Structure 1
Amino acid sequence: MRHDKAFQLIELARRMAASAEGLTLDDMAREMQVARRTAERMRDAVLSLFPTAEEVFDPPHKRWRIRSGLSAFEQAPTATEMLELAKASQALRASGEPARAAALDSLERKLKSAMRSTALNRMAPDLEALVRAETIAVQAGPRPTADEAMLTAIRAAVLAQAPLGFTYSRPNAEPRRRVVAPCGLMFGRANYLVAADRETGRVQTFRLDRMSAVERQDGFAPPPEDFDLAAFAGQSFGIYQDQVEDVVLRVAPGEKAAEARGWRWHPTQSLEDQPDGSVLVRFRASGMRELAWHLFTWGDQITILAPDRLKTVMAEEIAAANRALGTA
């Protein structure tokens, strides 16, 4: 058996061991990116190689899992995997997220402590060299903050579908005590709690750095039945949620048009090449102010075709910039 086939079987075994409920044949085919018939042969090979693998009947499906897990030899991480874990921790710490970085540091220690000393000694020089050779470029922007106690309280409420209470402070407004149905967390340039009003069901966002006295409350407060956090986050160009609109931008011909073709604007984006070499970028999103801020980085190479509200917001931002420069 070729090395790549052996690697695929071990990878499938890892995925079967990592799934509490087990994998169906369709799951295996999708995750391993193979045809169903190939997935069947791979499953049979894993079952013969790993005697602890078991079949679980979950009507109308059959699932397979390795309940006892795999050995340290089969699970030993590579230097590249450990490097990416270290970089993720470094990036969180550099952006002002020590609590989340500490969780990754703890995971790294657990992985290393589970490795055989020979494998750890063999990997250490390569890992040290790679860590020195790569770093994270920290961009200017707000420093998102979320202390460990706050994240723990929010996550506990999410898991229990319990009400979450906190004091919320907005600029130029009196602090207000809120009790909401927590839906999840969004991490980015700023960190947000996504929560629903318990009476109206309206979903909104709350900046974690403006929250205090966060605590899980007694009771039951599930998110709206049809709520999807990923879909909610995908509505906005950035984080801020408001009216969703159809956006159409024209990127001028030349270097910026080529750059725009490889740019990830939004999950709903479509790109249209024009006869003159320009590119039309279309997507549907909210957050026109955040989009306007981003468009400043493209200079005069982008023309806003729609919506009119984005044009208005851009004009307001330009006027504010002129006032700051004393040129208004």
Structure 2
Amino acid sequence: MTDARYAKLESLLRVVLRMEARRDGITLADIQVIAGIERRAAERMRDALLRALPQLEEGDPGPPKRWVLTGPALSRALAPTLEELAARHRAEALLRREGDRSAADRVSALADRLQAALSPQARTRLAPDIEALLEADGVALRPGPREALSEPLLAALRQAILAGVWIECDYLNAGSWRLSRNIELGPVALLMGSGRQYLLAYSEYVDDLRLFRLANLHRVEPLDQPFMPPEGFILSDWLSESFGVWREEPMRVEWRFLPEAAAEARLWQFHPSQSLTDEPDGSLTVRFTAGGIEEMCDHLFRWGDRVQIIAPEALCDAWRLRVAAAARAGGD
């Protein structure tokens, strides 16, 4: 089996080298002869090369059809594919939508380097395909509210996290709306995503990790003092105890989605620890362990009256208060 795989690889390399050597390219019949394969196998090999080498171009028109590969084979093989370029554009669009323009600009610069490996003809050909893929998944056009974040502030935070140093900052407290000045924090991670954006940092004042809203940071200066996260700290484990990013004591959660919502709910992963149970009446029960009552309420609002909160009671109480507040805001 191993020898057969090597033989296929050798055949593929011979075809690529022949494409590079022949200025007028090669035909499907040429691929059959070079690789010693039947026409259907030659078509599959050609299709594989077209996927792997987006700069592979059709030669002069007229039967038989020919394919031409210009430039060194190795450098061309490293050129990005359409799917890779589209994924890069998608990442940039998501970062800009979340307000992280500094990271988006870096991803954009990376794209320029990747696309430099393509021939001018390939760049021209791929541009409309990339736009079509982005429009198809709605990234470039998707609306939605987001917080406005300071680019210099994000850059300073990234610098401090990468350098492993403390920061000094001014922070606007959400409760009192007073600006606390010259706070020293040990930055651990930026928690970016939909909704509010946070800095996870160690505070000597409380001797623990805390979340700080990025929009409330008014000044950030990296210090010369080295900082290390608490011993044994693993970010993924820390986040797994929460429904979103907000930290609370984990609790046993149980929701029951009514039959008309069960199929849709099954498509969601509400939490990595979740378990699903199909009920006799067609409803779906979801159970998991996590904290974050306010974020759970935020999410449950999208389901309206199609979900029932079974446990915990603290979530039921918070939900009733949220619904009553929404009714008052609506004039009911």
TM class by shorter chain equals: 0.7 to 0.9
Residue 174 (str. 1) matches residue 178 (str. 2):
yes
Aligned Cα root-mean-square deviation (Å): 2.6
8 Å CA contact 2:100–2:151 kept in 1: the answer is: no
1:61-72 alignment runs, 5 A limit = 71-72=74-75
**2:116 maps to which residue?**
113
Identity of aligned residues (%): 37
Unpaired runs of 5+ residues, structure 1, are 11-69
1:45-194 alignment runs, 5 A limit = 71-117=74-120, 119-121=122-124, 123-124=126-127, 126-131=129-134, 133-136=136-139, 138-141=142-145, 143-171=146-174, 172-177=176-181, 178-188=183-193, 189-194=195-200
Change over 3 Å in CA distance of 1:201–1:160 after alignment to 2 = farther
Change over 3 Å in CA distance of 1:221–1:326 after alignment to 2 = same
Q: Secondary structure of the equivalent of 1:102?
A: helix
**1:232 maps to which residue?**
238
Which residue identity is paired with 1:280?
T
Give the Cα separation in 2 of the matches to 1:325 and 1:132.
Answer: 35
**1:322 maps to which residue?**
327
Residue 247 (str. 1) matches residue 250 (str. 2):
no
Give the Cα separation in 2 of the matches to 1:226 and 1:155.
Answer: 22
Which residue identity is paired with 1:170?
N
Change over 3 Å in CA distance of 1:138–1:233 after alignment to 2 = farther
**2:287 maps to which residue?**
282
In the TM superposition, what is the alpha-carbon distance from 1:231 to its structure 2 partner? 2.0
**1:261 maps to which residue?**
266
Give the Cα separation in 2 of the matches to 1:121 and 1:318.
Answer: 53
Q: Secondary structure of the equivalent of 1:284?
A: strand
1:31-46 alignment runs, 5 A limit = none
Q: Secondary structure of the equivalent of 2:225?
A: coil
Give the Cα separation in 2 of the matches to 1:311 and 1:94.
Answer: 33
8 Å CA contact 2:102–2:155 kept in 1: the answer is: no
In the TM superposition, what is the alpha-carbon distance from 1:95 to its structure 2 partner? 3.7
In the TM superposition, what is the alpha-carbon distance from 1:121 to its structure 2 partner? 5.0
Q: Secondary structure of the equivalent of 1:226?
A: coil
In the TM superposition, what is the alpha-carbon distance from 1:293 to its structure 2 partner? 1.9
Give the Cα separation in 2 of the matches to 1:318 and 1:277.
Answer: 26
Deviations 1:45-68 (A, max 9, x none): xxxxxxxxxxxxxxxxxxxxxxxx
Query: How many equivalent residue pairs?
Result: 263
8 Å CA contact 2:196–2:213 kept in 1: the answer is: yes
Return the TM-score normalized by structure 1. Answer: 0.72
Give the Cα separation in 2 of the matches to 1:132 and 1:263.
Answer: 23
Return the TM-score normalized by structure 2. Answer: 0.72
**2:223 maps to which residue?**
217
Q: Secondary structure of the equivalent of 1:219?
A: strand
Change over 3 Å in CA distance of 1:119–1:282 after alignment to 2 = same
In the TM superposition, what is the alpha-carbon distance from 1:151 to its structure 2 partner? 2.3
In the TM superposition, what is the alpha-carbon distance from 1:200 to its structure 2 partner? 4.9
Greater C-alpha Rg: 2
More divergent stretch after superposition (277-286 vs 87-96): 87-96
Deviations 1:159-197 (A, max 9, x none): 222111111002333211321111111101222110112
